[in-house]
Amino acid sequence: MLAAQTRVAPPSESVAQLVKPPIDWKQIIEPLEPFLVAVSKRMSEQISAFDPAVANYAEYALGAQGKQLRPSLVGLAANATGAIEDSHVTVAVIIEMVHLATLVHDDVMDEAGMRRGRPTLAANWGNEVSVLVGDCLFARALELAASFPTPEICRAVSSATNTVCAGETQQTLQRAGWISPDRST
């Protein structure tokens, strides 16, 4: 019977040169800067177009904006499949509005007092205002989705919203002990 002997050679200098340090998120999205600026501008325009009774509260919620991960992913996908177009800006705004609405609602559901280092909409103006502002954000996202020539965007926004709401409902029922995590009761 022959036994094979294995020896591990030390890595050569050329292999070590192939290993590069990880790329920073800022480096990844740097080429998207004009796109992200356009998304932020369009988002602000959409919120400014709300009824004046709602706009200030929606602007406050928008002020706690994070890293713009979702718009960045839209921009990266658009760039990978061709050129970034105005419709991609609209899609990114739709996704951000849905996301912002879910955050506003989630803060109510979780009774959160702070988000990203500042008081939540609910902490400042109460749950009723927060829920209604979140609803306005969902409605505006659907309105923007309806501006596309195909109903598929509306269907996708509606489906995503339904999934989020169903998940929040289940989580609330579980927390209250009304259903078990496996949904059997």
CB contact set of 138 (below 8 Å; sequence gap of 6+): 97, 98, 101, 161
pLDDT score of 1: 47
Does the reported pTM lie above 0.75?
Answer: yes
Q: What is the pLDDT of residues 3-28, one digit of tens each?
A: 555 555 555 555 556 667 788 888 88
Nearest to 99 by CA among 122, 131, 65, 75: 65
Query: What average pLDDT score do residues 55-65 get?
Result: 90
CA–CA separation, 135 vs 145, rounded Å? 15
Please give the pLDDT value at position 28. 87
Residue 180: pLDDT band (50, 70, 90) is: confident
The DSSP bridge partners found for residue 119 are 114
What does DSSP assign to residue 23? Answer: P
- Residue 184 forms beta bridges with which residues? none
Q: List pLDDT tens digits, range 82-126.
A: 999 999 999 999 999 999 999 999 999 889 999 988 999 999 999
Where along the chain do its domains lie? Answer: 31-176
CATH for the stretch 31-176: 1.10.600.10
